[in-house]
Amino acid sequence: MEDVKETRQPIPMEPGQPERFDYEYERAGTAANFMTTEPLGAWRKVNVRDTRTAIDLAHEVKELLDVDYPDAKKVTLVWDNLNTHVPASLYKAFEPAEARRLLDRLEIHYTPKHGSWLNIAEIELSVFTRQCLDRRIPDIGTLRSEAKAWANRRNAAQCGVNWQF
């Protein structure tokens, strides 16, 4: 996702006229959104990082296990076939003993190739995009606070994912 800043102030709305924006903008960087969702628990979390690497993914998995689900013996992950969605990512980020500790708590399933629409997190990312990323966001700090607020609102409203065939 791109961070974009306005180069000109928007023209405020007036009676009969919507707020108007100039098409020109300044690119202020990029960010990677990591979505975690528990569809039956109506819970999700979005972490915004500077990059989307195997190391970033490994830290997301560690946070999921150690912070979000510290008492769970097993956590089931459904991953698509993104290049970083592999157990080896944990070994790139952590010592072998730590990577093994984390992997022992995971049950990993993959969506079929060309079947990312089966990935429930993709459904939540679509909602996130429409509800939170539908405007220009000038910097990663703003994006982080907006993503957290969005997830908090969705969690408070107990918005689940109706995933049926």
CA–CA distance, 87 with 58 (Å, rounded to integer):
9
> In Å, how far are 50, 114, 125, 129 from 26, measured between CA atoms?
18, 34, 25, 20
Domain ranges of the chain: 2-10+24-156
Give the integer Cα–Cα distance in Å for 54 and 148: 23
Place 157 in a pLDDT band, splitting at 50, 70 and 90: very high
- pLDDT at site 28: 60
Overall pTM > 0.85: no
Asked if 75 contacts 107 with a C-beta cutoff of 8 angstroms, the reply is yes
What is the identity of the amino acid at 9? Q
Secondary structure (3-state) at 96 = helix
At 2, the pLDDT band (50, 70, 90 cuts) reads very low
